[in-house]
Amino acid sequence: MKKTLVTGTGGLVGYAIRKLNLENFIYIIRKDADLTDFAQTKRIFEKIKPKRVIHLAAEVAGIGGNIIHSGEFFRSNIMINVNVLEVARLTGVSKLISFMSTCVFPDKCSYPLNERDIHSGPPHPSNAGYAYAKRMLEVQSRAYRKEFGCNFIVAIPTNIYGENDIWNLEEGHVIPSLIHKVFLAKKSGSDLVVWGSGKPLREFVYSRDIAKLTLWAMRKYDDELPIILTNSEEVSIKQLVDVIVEEVGFKGKVIFDRAKPDGQFRKPSDNSKLKKHLPKFSFTPLEKGIKNTVEWFMKNHPNVRM
Ligand code: GFB
């Protein structure tokens, strides 16, 4: 009975995978083991004895949280990843998938971003600590494949959103933060304050799509090079605001606070490798994903992760 261990399942992709009710999948969250601690990591792997690992655990945040916690995000993510990949190697895990994100790409490089560009320049300063730590996943997976023959693969999703995200107004990612803000502005009849100019562009992918692609990659993707998971559809923050405002039914004033950071202007990513493997895969349209996410938030607020 080949068990699959999923780490970090308190988050939005873990939540989406759990919803698929898969056989022989074991889900762990932060309270089950502190993965920054090697001994605790080893203990939980020896207890569960997985043959496959979906490694989602990470310290994550939006632009606000990344600017504040650059040092902690570097430290904790490096420790988590080195421990999980080393213990997976020591305990004979046959396949492991881990996750970077498109913020690891250089801030200045040719577009669209592709899997070979990762180390060709510094990431955007707004999340350098997190981005450099995440880049080491690719380095460690490649080095372990070379020296030990480990089948450790890496996926690079763009901005993921969906149910069970972190809804913190100051440190969350843009979509959960804005949904929460619009909900509060509508309730109190106040203006909606959006950070930055509204001009930056992002590619947003729905967590349930990433869950499906993760299971596909676990079964079928064995390359040393990472694979970018994106719909390659850029949306401006202003367009995103319009979709969320429409979905929540907010009629008030929208203000763009330019004193707040825009962050990386854009990170258009090349999904040609994904399309070569899965030519028929269709991503959930943004409007539909936002509708599901807003409905989940309305149903669960205030018992949501902050
Ligand atoms: O998701 P986000 O916080 O991070 O998006 P990144 C930031 C963009 O949304 C900036 C604008 O252009 C912000 O100006 N924005 C507007 C807001 N209003 C808000 C708001 O209320 N909250 C937030 N957070 N942003 C992330 C990385 O970068 O990319 C993550 O921080 C991860 O680690 C992710 O890698 C893929 O998209 O800039």
CB 80 within 8 A of CB 58: yes
Give, in order, the Cα–Cα distances in Å from 173 to each of 36, 61, 93, 120, 247: 23, 6, 32, 26, 18
Angle value at C-alpha 272, between 270 and 274, nearest 5 degrees: 105
For ligand 1, atom 16, the nearest C-alpha belongs to 195
Active site residue 144: no
For ligand 1, atom 34, the nearest C-alpha belongs to 159
Spacing, Cα 153 to ligand 1 middle (Å): 26
Antiparallel, parallel or unpaired: β 152-157 and 52-55: unpaired
pLDDT at 1: 80
Spacing, Cα 246 to ligand 1 middle (Å): 20
Structure tokens at 110: 């040719």
Q: How far apart are CA 206 and CA 88, in angstroms?
A: 28
CB 211 within 8 A of CB 13: yes
Q: How far apart are CA 159 and CA 228, in angstroms?
A: 11
Q: How far apart are CA 92 and CA 139, in angstroms?
A: 20
The rounded average pLDDT for each run of 10 residues, N- to C-terminus, in the chain (306 residues) is 94 95 96 97 98 97 95 98 98 98 93 95 95 98 98 98 96 97 97 98 98 98 98 97 98 98 95 97 98 98 94
Residues β-bridged to residue 160? 205
Antiparallel, parallel or unpaired: β 227-229 and 52-55: unpaired
Spacing, Cα 140 to ligand 1 middle (Å): 27
Which atom of ligand 1 is found nearest the CA of 62? 3
Q: Which of 15, 27, 111, 130 is catalytic?
A: 130
Give, in order, the Cα–Cα distances in Å from 59 to each of 29, 55, 79, 122, 213: 12, 12, 11, 20, 22
